[in-house]
């Protein structure tokens, strides 16, 4: 019940901001979400024995959010800066793990949230699609998995997940995509693909936590854990939807 109440409190706010909020408000909310996710990510990374990572990377990540266009050049520069700064490390055996953790965090957290800003600039409904499809899929997987789950999806990574829940998430996402975008084969395939990518994102974050020996990324959201736990699927679906739109644009399909 706590899980449901938390979702019911968050969903109306997100829907309003995404569909009717001005660009500056979307950017502000994205920056807040990205900051919360990154701070939790730093905690996970530290559990791997890297020691505390430099807080400069948080400022660098926020800069990546607001740089014009995709920010690829800045991302490369920041990754190189992370490696350069580690030359000061007292234990050079941590040079690669620490620099890699910062570089991954910048791309994984801030790079993915940057896609949210770009999707909103293209059309708010695409950002809504990339976000809502995870709510639908996660809810279907959770309830179907609890009732019908028999076959473990990835027991070493996330023992509670089942193939039955995964299938329910896929079907529910396709139904949502058909209702939201239109009942075409293209949108059914898109919805299925995006949901599959989101499920991979969920497992990817579970892998990070499993390796770090932590159950949740944080305690911010009752019933869900941390912010990163709530948006782990979204961090994968945002770039997936943006890539789809950019492919269409490159071929002048739409």
Give this prediction's pTM: 0.92
Q: Quote the pLDDT of residue 153.
A: 94
Tally of CB atoms within 10 A around 53:
22
pLDDT at 223 over 70: no
Q: How confident is the model at residue 7 (pLDDT cuts 50, 70, 90)?
A: low
pLDDT by residue (tens digit) across 12-62? 889 999 999 999 999 999 999 999 999 999 999 999 988 777 778 999 999
- Greater confidence (116 vs 254) lies with 116
C-alpha separations of 53 from 168, 178, 212 in Å = 39, 44, 15
What integer is the mean pLDDT of 54-78?
Answer: 84
Q: Quote the pLDDT of residue 164.
A: 95
The Cα 156–Cα 136 span in angstroms is 25
Quick check: 5 and 223 in contact, CB under 8 A?
yes
The Cα 142–Cα 6 span in angstroms is 15
> What's CA 220's distance to the chain center, in Å?
16
C-alpha separations of 124 from 2, 115, 130, 222 in Å = 29, 12, 10, 28
pLDDT by residue (tens digit) across 92-127? 888 888 899 999 999 999 999 999 999 999 999 999
Domain boundaries, the chain: 2-250
pLDDT by residue (tens digit) across 157-208? 999 899 999 999 999 999 999 999 999 999 999 999 999 999 999 999 999 9
Q: Quote the pLDDT of residue 54.
A: 73
What integer is the mean pLDDT of 237-251?
Answer: 92
């Amino acid at each position: 019940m706590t899980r449901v109440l938390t979702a019911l409190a968050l969903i109306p706010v997100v829907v309003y901001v995404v569909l009717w909020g001005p660009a500056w408000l979307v950017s502000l909310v994205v920056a807040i979400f990205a900051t919360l996710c990154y701070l939790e990510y730093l905690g996970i990374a530290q559990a791997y024995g890297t020691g505390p990572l430099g807080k400069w990377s948080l400022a660098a990540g926020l800069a990546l959010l607001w740089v014009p266009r995709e920010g690829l050049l800045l991302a490369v520069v920041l990754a190189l800066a992370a490696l350069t700064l580690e030359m000061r490390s007292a234990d050079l055996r941590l040079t690669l793990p620490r620099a890699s953790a910062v570089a991954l965090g910048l791309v994984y957290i801030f790079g993915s949230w940057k896609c949210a800003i770009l999707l909103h600039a293209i059309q708010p409904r695409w950002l809504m699609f990339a976000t809502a499809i995870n709510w639908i899929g996660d809810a279907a997987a959770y309830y179907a998995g609890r009732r019908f789950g028999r076959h473990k999806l990835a027991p070493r990574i996330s023992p509670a997940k089942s193939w039955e829940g995964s299938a329910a998430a896929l079907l529910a996402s396709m139904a949502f995509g058909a209702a939201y975008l239109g009942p075409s084969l293209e949108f059914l395939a898109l919805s299925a693909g995006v949901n599959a990518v989101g499920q991979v994102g969920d497992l990817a974050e579970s892998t990070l936590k499993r390796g770090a020996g932590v159950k949740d990324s944080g305690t911010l959201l009752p019933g869900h854990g941390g912010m990163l736990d709530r948006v782990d699927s979204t961090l994968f679906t945002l770039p997936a939807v943006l890539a789809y739109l950019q492919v269409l644009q490159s071929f002048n399909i739409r």
